[in-house]
Structure 1
Amino acid sequence: MDLSAIAASQPYPLLFATISGAHLYGFPSPDSDYDLRGVHILPISEVIGLHTGQETIEVAELREDLELDLVTHDVKKFFGLLLKKNGYVLEQLYSPLIVHSTPEHEELKAIATSCITRHHSHHYLGFAQNQWQLFEKEPRKRVKPLLYVYRVLLTGIHLMQTGKIEANISRLNQEFQLSYIPSLIAQKLEGGEKSYLVDAEIEFYRQECDRLITALEQASQASTLPESTDPASKDALHDLLVRLRMKSLR
């Protein structure tokens, strides 16, 4: 699938486009869809009048027998999410799987380091707890949601300890050394999106989930990350937004 061509065909200029989902998290199976995430830039004519452009563009379709899930937000909306301690947008921004980039993308990544706080832990705690509840409700336990639970908890702990985003579970596990992670990844890669657990150690997985939740809470409390976003970063985001909008007048 030519993701670069897909990015180039979007109706508005893109600040960046990156790959998220299973490919970013380190456990894509052959039938995994492609999650393309990015930021588009509405022209001034579509933000100051009564008829405004799309703040969010979503495309879900089948291409070359693979599912494409594309979501882009207008730059102003994305900046707002960034200031609301949203871990998803950080992962999209810092994804190393880059489909399209610009100099302003690099500038945004530099600014965003000052937007990271210890309270980003709430995003990861909430996501993990919701995913675990969904996992428990399944009659047959799938590997995918379980990997999502552990991936998000390890990402959160790593962020609290280092201030850096790392969403790939295999790279995270080089640090955490959890013996069951390679086995779960192998099951997901071999069995695809609908792969089910080959063992019934649900109580063990529940205890591990609880342990990692506690570890994330403790990492947040001990973190040297700031309590709130640096006010200067909001000013820098404002300046960048104005410059990006003004480009549409040239």
Structure 2
Amino acid sequence: MPHRTEPSGLPGLPGLTGLPGLTGLDLSAVVAEEPDPLLFATVSGAHLYGFPSRDSDVDLRGVHLLPVEELVGLRDPEETRTRMWDRDGVEMDLVTHDLRKFVRLMLRRNGYVLEQLTSPLVAHTTAAHAELRALVPGVVTSHHAHHYRGFAGTQWRLYETSGELKPLLYTYRALLTGIHLMRSGEVQAHLPTLAAEVPEAPARLPELVAAKEAAEHGAAEAAPEAVREEVERLHEVLDLAQAASRLAGEPGALHALHDLVVRVRLQQAQH
């Protein structure tokens, strides 16, 4: 299954074979076009979450390494870069942060960056990427539940306004990721996997995922009241999972991450 593929770092992304919109797409060329070295680039968004549509864009996320001179001068460095374009008929969306900013986001209990870092859909990887991944257990805290609770609330409001299936699936996905994280300490963003591993996951999820594949902005056919009850119940489960979680209250990997940032930057300066 695609979500179990381990990082390969190989051109052509064998782990992405068969995913809608990505088959045969060589993302290594995208990595080669970046002005500064990338420590990693992974696929996020609907492809990572396990419910892409046939016309879904490709959300690439990663970390770039700014030259030392851009960090020690008077000009503000370009710590975040965003680029959108069309490649071979596929809409591409690439967002990267400089290593220092990315690590600071990791320490702010930001679930997004942990999902990007641990995504098994890898376009480019390095030894530093592997080191960052290994430090994730020391970053995850019980307070990450707030991130997923808040994101679910935002997506639920979008669903109530639009009636579309996409924000509804994002709501389910966020709540189930949060519940799974509180119980296991593992960052799992793939909705079909969460549906199988979280006992409280609604039984309707497989049919909703199948419907999403056919249309990116299709309407949700589920009964609104039944859906509301499920979402409210998942919020309750997340609250209970956070209260019972054995995760630390504060990240414990600060010093290790600091040392990694300094070492990688000094190695860059020597070259």
Scaled to the shorter chain, the TM-score interval is: over 0.9
Q: Is this contact kept in 1: 2:43–2:121, CA < 8 A?
A: yes
Across the aligned residues of Structure 1 and Structure 2, the Cα RMSD in angstroms comes to 1.0
Q: Partner amino acid for 1:156?
A: G
Structure with higher RCO (Cα < 8 A, 6+ apart): 1
| Counterparts of 1:206 and 1:103, CA distance in 2 | 44
Per-residue CA deviation, residues 180-207 of structure 1 (Å, 9 max, x unaligned), is 00110111012x21111234x0011111
The aligned counterpart of 1:41 is 65
Per-residue CA deviation, residues 113-136 of structure 1 (Å, 9 max, x unaligned), is 101100000000000011101111
Q: Is this contact kept in 1: 2:142–2:247, CA < 8 A?
A: yes
Per-residue CA deviation, residues 192-236 of structure 1 (Å, 9 max, x unaligned), is 21111234x001111111100110011000000011111xx1111
The aligned counterpart of 1:3 is 27
| Counterparts of 2:110 and 2:193, CA distance in 1 | 22
Identity %: 50
Return the offset for 1:175.
1.5
Task: Find the residue that maps to 2:218 and give its secondary structure.
Answer: coil
The aligned counterpart of 1:116 is 140
| Counterparts of 1:24 and 1:234, CA distance in 2 | 27
Instruction: Could you tell me which runs of 5 or more consecutive residues in structure 2 were left unpaired when the two chains were aligned.
Output: 1-24
The total of aligned residue pairs comes to: 244
Q: State which drifts further: 116-125 or 103-112.
A: 103-112
Q: Which runs of 4+ in 1 moved over 3 A?
A: none
Q: State which drifts further: 171-180 or 67-76.
A: 171-180
Task: Find the residue that maps to 2:143 and give its secondary structure.
Answer: helix
User: 1:195 aligned to 2:215?
Assistant: no
Q: Partner amino acid for 1:243?
A: R
The aligned counterpart of 2:171 is 149
Among 52, 63, 74, the alignment partner of 1:28 is 52
Return the offset for 1:52.
4.1
What TM-score, normalized to structure 1? 0.95
Q: Partner amino acid for 1:225?
A: L
Higher helix share: 1
